[in-house]
A = this chain, B = another copy of it.
């Protein structure tokens, strides 16, 4: 039904349309590509492709543009993840190498991704749920105020200020620190809340009430997955191009970028870093973004997917280039996290 020439024609249409942003006609196609046939033949192929729903005409007597289905076929069969050039790889490596902490890694990644793809880039912070506790610190601020700091294996730091109903001895606080640490260090964060449940009863009766309260807040802070919603965004200036090139209104996208919950839904489940997910147009789980595509993949130390990163752009985008950029950045970030 679709012989190789028709596939070639589809590929040519996608490539031209991505580049020129204009419906592409049969003549322009044979001029720009060595198809070896005449415009009339191409027209017949186009009619077949349109019949199958891979391309469409904005109006009679206009050129063709790919449909979402056409992009899908293009992505699935007609394009490979092209490896980046050595120079590009080196640029990525050196750019990310300089990061001093997790925040820095995330921010550098998002900038890099935005610059490489010329799209809007999104990087989710590594989820806390699958990381382990590295250290718990209890700091006295005033008599009745403590600061609880939890450091995780991915380098994230959670902190919480606690008001106590009564002062605690420095000694007791030292003991609390020790017991909390021995209860949870090395354990998955997700288990931490239950692991500390027994801590208060290890204390003197007089201190138990206060300790129980502190431990309660600790458990709460640790169970709180609000922080899983944390994301960094970059390349919003590229949105302007979307609006210009494109009839696409950038309003829904800007709104989505403000709503981190929505964003995370766009990025989708964290997949393996070696697997790049592409969602095209209506496949994106948000009605108002039917004209945008999302390219995403997971990342994390040792290839376990802790979080997702990716780019968002118009359906008419350079899929091959963006996919390889996303893939490469995810690999390097994973690498760095494994080191740190």
Contact = CB atoms under 8 A, between A and B. Distances in A.
A10 B255 CA distance: 36
A101 to B, nearest CB: 5
Contacts of A134: 139, 141, 147
A216 interface: no
Interface in A282-340: 340
Interface string A236-267: 11011001000001110011011000000000
Contacts of A151: 139, 147, 149, 159
A240 B248 CA distance: 12
A151 B160 CA distance: 12
Given A134-B141, A149-B151, A160 B236 contact: no
Nearest to A114: B258
A141 B243 CA distance: 48
A274 B151 CA distance: 38
A161 B134 CA distance: 13
Given A236-B254, A236-B257, A254-B237, A101 B160 contact: yes
Copies in the complex: 2
Contacts of A250: 240
Nearest to A258: B237
A157 interface: yes
Interface string A155-177: 10101110000000000000000
A137 B161 contact: no
A309 B155 CA distance: 29
A135 interface: yes
Interface residues of A, number: 31
Interface in A134-152: 134-135, 137, 139, 141, 147, 149, 151
A126 interface: no
Interface string A10-26: 00000000000000000
A100 interface: yes
Nearest to A220: B100
A161 B161 CA distance: 24
A149 B161 CA distance: 16
A234 interface: yes
A235 interface: yes
Contact of A251 (B100, B240, B255, B258): B240
A157 B157 CA distance: 8
A36 B134 CA distance: 75
B254 A239 contact: yes
B161 A340 contact: yes
A58 to B, nearest CB: 24
Contacts of A135: 139, 147
Interface of A: 100-101, 134-135, 137, 139, 141, 147, 149, 151, 155, 157, 159-161, 221, 234-237, 239-240, 243, 249-251, 254-255, 257-258, 340
9 contacts: A100-B161, A135-B147, A139-B151, A149-B149, A149-B157, A157-B157, A234-B258, A237-B255, A237-B258
Given A237-B254, A237-B257, 10 more contacts: A100-B161, A135-B139, A149-B149, A161-B340, A236-B236, A236-B254, A236-B257, A236-B258, A237-B251, A240-B254
